[in-house]
Structure 1
Amino acid sequence: MSKKKTPPQSPKQPQRPEKPEESSVAESTPVSGGFQFEPAWLWAVVLTVATVMAYYISLDNGFMVFDDDKAIRYNNLIKNPTFRGLFMANNLGMYAPITWCGYALVYALAGESASAFHTFSLLLHIGCVLSVFTLMRMLQSRAEVAFFTALLFALHPMQVEATSWIAGQSALTFSLFYLLSLMAYVQWQNSRRALFFGLSIVAFLLSVLSKSAAVTLPVLLLALDWYKNGTVTLKNVLAKAPYFVVSLIFGLYTFSTREAEGHDLVVASSAYNLFDRFLMVCHSLLFYPVKLLLPFKLSIFYPMEKTDGVWSIDYYLAPLALAAIGWAAWKYGRRDRVIGLAGLWYLIPLAVMLPYVSVGTFEMRSDRYVYISSVGFFLLLVYLAQRIPAEIRRGALIGMALLFGFLTLERSQVWNNEVSVFRDCVDKYPDAPLCNCNLAYGELLNLEFEPSVQHYTKALALDPSFVEAYNGRGQAYFQLKKFPEAYSDFDNAIKAGIVTPKLFLNRGKCHVILGRPAEAIPDLAKSIELEPRNPETWYFKAVAEGKTGDLAGALKDYSKAIELNPQYVEALVNRGLMYFNEQKFDEAIADYTAALAVRPDIIIARNNRAMAYLSKGMLNEALADVNKSIEAQSNYPKSYETRAKVYSQMGKTAEAARDMEKVKSLTSGG
C-alpha cells in the first residue's frame, strides 16, 4: 500500500495564530456522571438560584454605621441627585459617579430601605457571576470549567464583604462593567468588528467611573492578547492607548483626591520601612490564595503587625515562596496558556490593592480587594482539577461549592450590623485594638454602654496610643452618668490632640454637670468655633452663662439654640423661665406653649405656664394647666403648690389649704 506524500508548504505562507494549549480532557459532551453542561441557559439559571440561596439572608441585614450611614442615610447627594453633584464633584473623598447613581436609583425607588439596597447588591453580584460564566465559555471550550469557575466565584464567603456590605457596592459595580468590557474585547478579538471594541471602551469607562481600581483593565487586555496569540506585540500595546490614557487620568486623579481628603499616601514611615512594605506585599500575594482555598477565620480586619519590631517567620519566608511559585507559573504558564491566564487574572487586578502604601484604617487587606482577582484563582483551581477522574473531580467541586455556600450563608449573618461584624472580628483577633475599638463604638451607638466601656478599655490597654478610644469611652461613661470618668476621658482625648466640636462640647457638658460652669464656657466656645450650627452647644453655653450670672449672654445663647432648632424643648423651657423672672409673661407663655406643642407631657413647662397665667391674672387658664399637670403626674409637689396659689387667688381657701397639705405630705415623704 503506497504512502501518500504530504505537499510541501511554502516558508512564506502566513501561519494562523496559535491556539491556547489545552489538556487532553474530554470536552463537555454527555458525561459519565449522568449530566451534561448544556444548554448554557440552564446552568446560568442554576448559578442564579445557587447565588440567591446563599445570600437571601443578607436581604434582612441593616445599614452599617461604618460608611453605610455616610454613603446612604446622611448623603444628600443620593437623595437629591444632580448631574453636577454626581459627575463634577467628589463624594466622600471618591470620584465614583456611577456607583452614586446606583445608590440614587435605589433611593428613588425604595427610599431609605436597607433591604432594597441589599437586593441591589445581590443583583449586581448575580450579574458578575453570569458574566464570569459567559466569559469563561468564550475563553476556553470546557463548559464544565466555565460552570464551576463561576459557581465557586458566586458562593465563596470572601465575596460576602462586597455583597452584604452596602458600602461595598462600588466593588460590585466596577467589577460588573470590568467583566463586560473583557467580554466585549474577547468578542472583538474573534470578530474584529469595531462595534465590540467600542463597547469594550464604553464599559471600561463605566467601570473606572464606578471605582478607580478598574485602571488595571488595559494590562489584563494585554494578557488576553498573549492568551490568544502567544505573544504581545507593539501593535497590541498601541491598540490599548485609549485604555491606558483613561487609566492614567483616573489613577492620578484618585491619588490627588485621597490626599485632598486628608488620607496621606504613606510608603515608608516609622511603622513600616521599604523592606517592611516588600514583605507585606509578598505576604499578601500568598495570603489571599490561602484564604480562597481555606476560607476560615475571615474577618473585616486582618492585622499586619510586627512584634517588638520583628515580623513573624511567614513574612520572611513569603518572598522565597513567591519566587518558587512565580518560577512554576512562568514555566507551566508558557506551556499551557490557560494556567498563565489564570495566574495573570489573579495578579493584575490585585496589583493596585496591595499594601504598598497606607491609606486609612482598613486599607492593608480586605476580602473585597480580591473580588475580581478570585476569578483567576478559581479558573486555575477548576482547570487543574480536570486532570482528576470525572466522578471524583465533580464530587469534590460540588462538595467545595456546598461548603462555600454554607459558609457564605453563615457569614452573611455576621454582616448584619456593626456590632455583629466587629464582635466577629474580636472573636478572631481578640488582641487587635482596632477591632475592640470599633466594636465598642458599635455598642455605644446601640446603647450597650457597659460592654462599650469594657471594649474601649481593652483597646487602650492593648495600645495606649489608640487615643480615639478615650473619646468613645467618655461618651459611654457620660451615658452611664459617671461624669468624673467621662470628663477624664474627654480631657485625655483633647490633650492627645483630637480636635472635634463634639469632643469640646462633651468636656464642656461635664464641666457644667460637675459644677464648673466657668471652665465649661471656653470649651463650649471652642466647639461653636468648630461647628457654629449645633443648637446643643449654644444651649449648654447658655446654661453655663446662667450659672455664672451672665443672664444677658444666657438669654442670647438660648435664643440662638432655638433659632437653630425651633423645637428645642429644653431651650424653650429655660428661656421661658428667664422671661418669667424678667416679668415678660407673654414671652414666657409663648415659649412654654411652643415647648408643649412638641412634648405635651413635659410637666415643668405646663406648671410654669400656669404660673405665668397666674401672674397675668388669667386664673382659669392657670387652673386648667395645673390640673392637667396633676392629672399627668400626681406626685409632683410644685403642681399642688401652684394650684394652691390659684385657689387662693380665686378665694377658694379650703381647696388651697388642702393642696398645701398635699405639698407637705409629698415633700416630707408621708
Structure 2
Amino acid sequence: MVSNRVQVIVQSSKFHRVALFVFAALLYSKSMSHDFILSWDDHVYVIYNIYIRAITTDNIYAILSTPFIGNYLPLHILSYMFDYALWGLNPSGYHVINVFLHAVGAVLVYDVVSRISGGRFIALFVAAVFVAHPINVEAVSWISQRKTLLSAVFFFGSLLAYFRWRRDSKKLWYGLALLFSVLSVFSKTSTVILPVIFIGYEILIVREKPIKWIAFLPFVIVSLAGTGGTVLSGIRGTAIADNTFTSEYLFSLVYPTMIPVYGKYFLLLIAPVNLSAFYDTTIYRSFYNPVILLSLSTYLYLSVMIIRFGGNEFRFWVLWSVVCFLPSANIIPIQIYYADRFMYLSMIGFYACIAIAARDVIRWSTKKLNMNVNTTITFVVSIMILVALVGLTYERIDVWRNELSLWSDTAQKSPDIYNVRMNYGTALKRAKRYKAALKQYENAAKLRSTPEVIWEIRTLREIVDDSLRTK
C-alpha cells in the first residue's frame, strides 16, 4: 500500500518538477561561489555599469535607450539593476539568480515537452539532460549570459501560454503568450524564431485546418522589431563589422566556414568533451572544398531521411533544433563562428529527437520482433547517460571559477586565438603575475600585432625590468 503510494508520487508531474529544480540547484551549487569574469563582458554589464547602481527613472530610461556591447537587450541589463540592489557587487548573488533561472527553465522544458510529446518519461529525460549537459555550463556559470537564461524562461512561458490559449481560447492566455514573447526577445534576440515554432506546432502537432495565420502576426511584428533593433545596434557598435554584408565576406569566408561547424555542434551534443570558451575554427573560402561538399551531402541526406521516414512529432523537434539554432548560425555574421551558449535552446530539440527515436525503436522491436524491452533497461541506460553528463558538467563548472581558471583552460584548448591570449594576459596582469602576463601578450602579438597588445607588452616589460632591478 505504502509502496504503491510512493510509486504514484514518484510518477507524478509535480514530483518531476520539484526533482528537476532541486537537481539543477544542487548540480550548479558550487558555481554560486564563483567570481566575475572581469576580462569578458562582466565588467561592462555589471562592474563598471553606472546605470545599475540605483533603481531610478533616469537609469531605467538609460538602459531602455542604450545598447551595450553592440546589443540592445534592455531586460537583461535591468535584471542586474535588481541584483545590485540586493547584493551590490557580490558575484555570488548574481550566480544564484543564474542558477535559479536555469532550474526554472528546466521545469518549463519539462512542461513544454510533455505538452508536445505526451509521455512524461520523454519530458523528464529531455529536461534532465537540459539540466545536466555540459554544453549549458557556459550559459549558467557566466554572469553575462543572464540574457540566455532570462530569454529562455520567457520563451518557454510564451509557448505554454500559447498552448493554453489553443486549448481554451481565452484571450488572457494569448495576451500572456504575446507579453512573454516581447520579454524574451528583449532579453536576447535569438528567440525571434518563436513564431516559426508556433507555426510548426500548428502544422505538425495540432494539424487542424484552417490555420489561423492572423494569430501569428503580432508575434512576427515583435520578432521583426527585435531583429531590426539588434542589427542596427550591432552596426553602430562592434557586434557587426562594416564589411558584414558584402558578397565576398559572406560567400568567400563566413558561409563556407560555417558549413562544417554545424556538424561540430552535432558532435558536441553527443560527445561534450574538450569544451572551450573559444574554439579554433578552420577557415574555408570556397564551397568546392571536399570538406564542405561532404558536409553538405551529409546534411542533404539527413534531411531526405527525416522528411521520408520521420513522423510529424520527430519532424517538429528537428524543426525546433534547427530553427532555434538559426539566429546563431551566422546567416547574419556575428564575428563568432560557434560557442556553447548558442545551443541552449537547440539542444532540447536534439535530445527530444533521440528520446522519440528510442521510444519508436522499442515499440517497433516489441511489435515486429516480439522483443519485450524492459522499462528497467531503459531507465538504467537513461541514468547512465545522465551520470556521464553530470560528471562532465561538474568538472566544467570548475573551469568557470574565475577568469584565471577560464583563460588557462581556453588557452590550452584554443591557443591560436588572439582574444584568448589577450584575455588570459589581462587576467594574469590583474593577479600581478607580470611575467606570465607578458608571455601571453607576446603570444597574442604573434597572432595579431595591434596597438593594444604592443602597449601592454611595453608596459609589462617596464614593470618586469623594474622588479628585476629592485631585486
Matches within 5 A, 1:15-94: 38-65=11-38, 66-81=40-55, 82=57, 83-94=60-71
* Deviation at residue 275 of structure 1 after TM alignment: 4.6
Alpha-carbon distance change, 229 to 47 in structure 1, aligned in 2, over 3 angstroms: closer
Runs of at least 5 residues in structure 2 that lack an aligned partner in the other structure:
363-372
Match of 1:416 among 401, 417, 420: 401
Which among 312, 334, 338 is matched to residue 313 of structure 2? 338
Structure 1 120/311 Cα, relative in aligned 2: closer, same or farther at 3 Å?
farther
Q: CA deviation at 1:273?
A: 4.7
Kindly indicate whether the alpha-carbon contact (under 8 Å) linking 1:441 and 1:472 is maintained by their aligned counterparts in 2.
no
Q: Deviations over 1:164-216 (max 9, x none)?
A: 00000000001100010011111112222222111100110111121121211
Distance of aligned partners of 1:321 and 1:147 in 2 relative to their CA distance in 1, 3 Å threshold: same
Higher helix share: 2
Q: Are 2:213 and 1:237 aligned?
A: yes
- Secondary structure in 2 aligned to 1:240? helix
* Residue of structure 2 in register with 1:439 after alignment: 424
Q: Which moved more, 1:465-474 or 1:107-116?
A: 465-474
Evaluate the alpha carbon distance shift between residue 59 and residue 187 of structure 1 in structure 2; reply closer, same or farther with a 3 A threshold.
same
The structure number with the bigger radius of gyration is 1
* TM-score normalized with structure 2 length: 0.88
Match of 1:471 among 455, 464, 471: 455
Measure the CA separation in 1 of the matches of 2:222 and 2:284.
Answer: 42
The one-letter code of the counterpart of 1:451 is: A
Deviation at 1:295, TM superposition (A): 0.3
Distance 1:168 1:432 in 2: 21
Aligned residue for 1:258?
234
Counterparts of 1:400 and 1:101, CA distance in 2 = 38
1:425 alignment partner, SS class? helix
Task: Considering Cα pairs closer than 8 Å and 6+ residues apart, tell me whether 1 or 2 has the greater RCO.
Answer: 2
Aligned to 2:465: 481
- Equivalent pair of 1:54/1:406 in contact (CA under 8 Å): no
In structure 2, relative to structure 1, the CA distance for the partners of 1:89 and 1:183 (3 Å cut) is same
State how many pairs are aligned.
Answer: 446
* Aligned counterparts of 1:56 and 1:200: Cα–Cα separation in 2: 31
After superposition, give the CA deviation of every residue in 1:316-373 in whole Å (9 maximum; x if it has no partner): 421111111111122233xx1221111011011211111234434xx22111111011
- Whether contact under 8 Å (1:47, 1:150) holds in the other structure is yes
Q: Give percent identity, aligned residues only.
A: 23
- Does structure 1 retain, via aligned residues, the 8 Å contact 2:22–2:103? no
Tell me which of 329, 333, 358 is aligned to 1:354: 329
Please give the secondary structure, in 2, of the residue aligned with 1:481.
helix
Instruction: Give the superposition deviation at 1:309.
Output: 8.8
- Residue by residue over 1:209-257, the C-alpha shift from the partner in whole angstroms, topping out at 9 and shown as x without a partner, is 2112121111111011112333786x43322000111111121111111
What does residue range 475-624 of structure 1 map to in structure 2 within 5 Å?
Answer: 475-481=459-465
Q: Of the candidates 359, 367, 371, which is equivalent to residue 344 of structure 2?
A: 371
Distance 2:184 2:285 in 1: 43
Rounded to whole Å, the distance in 1 between the matches of 2:288 and 2:423 is 25
Paired AA for residue 33 in structure 2? D
When residues 215 and 308 of structure 1 are mapped into structure 2, their CA distance, relative to the original with a 3 A threshold, is closer
What is aligned with 1:402?
387
Amino acid aligned to 1:476: L
TM-score by length of 1: 0.63
Matching residue's letter, 2:439: Q
Distance 1:231 1:353, change over 3 A: farther
The 2-side partners of 1:291 and 1:448 are apart by: 34
3-state DSSP class of the match of 1:451? Answer: helix
1:101-120 to structure 2, matched below 5 A, reads 101-120=78-97
Cα pair distance change 1:350/1:301, threshold 3 Å: same
- Specify the SS of the correspondent of 1:210: coil
Segments of structure 1 that go 5 or more residues without pairing to the other structure are 1-29, 484-670
Per-residue CA deviation, residues 44-71 of structure 1 (Å, 9 max, x unaligned), is 1221222122211111110111111111
Task: Give me the whole-angstrom Cα distance separating, in 2, the residues matched to 1:192 and 1:308.
Answer: 51
8 Å CA contact 2:164, 2:173 repeated in 1: yes
Q: Over aligned residues, Cα RMSD in angstroms?
A: 2.6
1:171 paired with 2:138, answer: no
